[in-house]
Amino acid sequence: MGTPSNRPRFALILPAAGSGQRLGESIPKPYLSVAGRTILEHTLQPFVDTGALVHVVIPTEKNYIQTAKQCVASSFPALSFDVIQGGKERQYSIEKGLDAMKNAGIDAQWVAVHDAVRPFITVDEIQRCLDAAVQFGAAIVAVPAKDTIKMVDIDADHQTVAHRIEDTPPRAQCWQAQTPQIFDSSLLKQAYENARELSIVGTDDASLVEALDRDVYVVEGRRENFKITYPIDLTLTRWLLEGEEK
Ligand code: CTP
Ligand code: MG
């Protein structure tokens, strides 16, 4: 581990363009206010605190571009950032983020992708993930699965009643992917180009790099780095950040 000054510097894409369907709030998740700041600002803070962040691109829904700009400029006045219109799927939002970085002339060797709605990431996790990315070219934060994972048949007719189990991968080998996911920038660009050419839509960035047959490594994180997805996650977030049950 180096000091912030000799540590490799990285750029960040912070996808924030989702509509938050599963949470069911009237505004998108990153713009909900908790403990006096938006979730977006809480999430960005530890990345800024690494002292190694060179630039941030935030893809977001068109109507929230101004809001995002105001939040970031007021909380992080010294930060170099860009807010852009996101895409229909998370993958397309990130693809647009990579294009925006290129257009802005940002050529950081390391690019991190982190969900705008994982506010409990820590400086230590970001740094360990970055160190692994520098060593191996691609690394993600993940946690060992606590439940046994079942692969099920989702195409069967009776699926409204129950799903037939097809396979049970050994639990010790199952890890739940979180973010950040950090890559050598040329590898990540290549992975997104390949995904576009082959019409691959992945649920995370690592899977697109894996599709190139390139190795990606996991760094063990914490369960607190959950993604705010369902109402229970927002309740827990408020409780953790505000110190009381809401
Ligand atoms: N995201 C994005 N562009 C999209 C979809 C998602 O930038 N087209 C972002 C979200 O804003 C979020 C992150 O990707 O920060 C993870 O996505 P998810 O938790 O699925 O958020 P939503 O898509 O907003 O939620 P839902 O799937 O429940 O609608
Ligand atoms: Mg979504």
In this model, does residue 39 exceed pLDDT 90?
Answer: yes
Cβ of residue 229 lying under 6 Å from some atom of ligand 1: yes
Cα 98 to Cα 92: distance, rounded to the nearest angstrom: 10
Which range (1-15, 53-67, 68-82, 134-148) has the least confidence?
1-15
Sign of CA dihedral 98, 90, 236, 83: positive
Q: How far is the CA of 30 from the centre of ligand 2 (A)?
A: 12
Continuous segment of H or E residues that includes residue 207: helix 205-210
Cα 84 to Cα 99: distance, rounded to the nearest angstrom: 10
Cβ of residue 137 lying under 6 Å from some atom of ligand 1: no
Cβ neighbours of residue 146 closer than 8 Å, sequence gap 6 or more: 223
Cα 55 to Cα 53: distance, rounded to the nearest angstrom: 6
Token pair recorded at residue 58: 């935030």
Token pair recorded at residue 156: 């069967």
Residue 165 φ then ψ, to 5°:
-75, 130
Which tens digits make up the pLDDT trace of 236-246? 999 999 985 44
Which tens digits make up the pLDDT trace of 129-155? 999 999 999 999 999 999 999 999 988
Cβ of residue 16 lying under 6 Å from some atom of ligand 1: yes
**Predicted pLDDT of residue 245:** 44
Of the pLDDT bands very low, low, confident and very high (cuts 50, 70, 90), residue 115 is very high
For the entire predicted model, the pTM comes to: 0.95
Cα 161 to Cα 157: distance, rounded to the nearest angstrom: 9
Q: What is the mean pLDDT of residues 213-223?
A: 98
Q: Which CATH superfamily is domain 10-142+178-245 in?
A: Spore Coat Polysaccharide Biosynthesis Protein SpsA; Chain A (3.90.550.10)
Q: What is the mean pLDDT of residues 104-129?
A: 97
Q: How far is the CA of 5 from the centre of ligand 1 (A)?
A: 33
Q: What is the mean pLDDT of residues 147-176?
A: 89
Of the pLDDT bands very low, low, confident and very high (cuts 50, 70, 90), residue 2 is very low
Cβ of residue 89 lying under 6 Å from some atom of ligand 1: yes
**Predicted pLDDT of residue 161:** 81
**Ligand 1, atom 23, residue with closest C-alpha:** 18
**Do the Cβ atoms of 227 and 178 come closer than 8 Å?**
yes
| Average pLDDT value for the chain | 95
Ligand nearest to the CA of 117: 1
**Predicted pLDDT of residue 156:** 67
| Residue of 25, 61, 91, 117 to mutate, ligand 1, most atoms within 8 A of C-beta | 117
Cβ of residue 18 lying under 6 Å from some atom of ligand 1: yes
Cβ of residue 117 lying under 6 Å from some atom of ligand 1: yes
Q: Which atom of ligand 1 approaches the CA of 28 most closely?
A: 24
Single out the residue of 158, 131, 153, 142 nearest to residue 204, CA to CA: 142
Give SS3 for 189. helix
Of the pLDDT bands very low, low, confident and very high (cuts 50, 70, 90), residue 208 is very high
Residue type, 9: R
In this model, does residue 218 exceed pLDDT 80?
Answer: yes
Which tens digits make up the pLDDT trace of 180-198? 999 999 999 999 999 999 9
Q: What is the mean pLDDT of residues 73-83?
A: 98
Cβ of residue 221 lying under 6 Å from some atom of ligand 1: no
Cα 63 to Cα 241: distance, rounded to the nearest angstrom: 27
Peptide bond into 180 cis (omega under 30): yes
Q: Which atom of ligand 1 approaches the CA of 15 most closely?
A: 7
Rg of the chain on CA atoms, in Å: 18
Residues with Cβ–ion distance below 5 A, ligand 2: 18
**Predicted pLDDT of residue 246:** 45
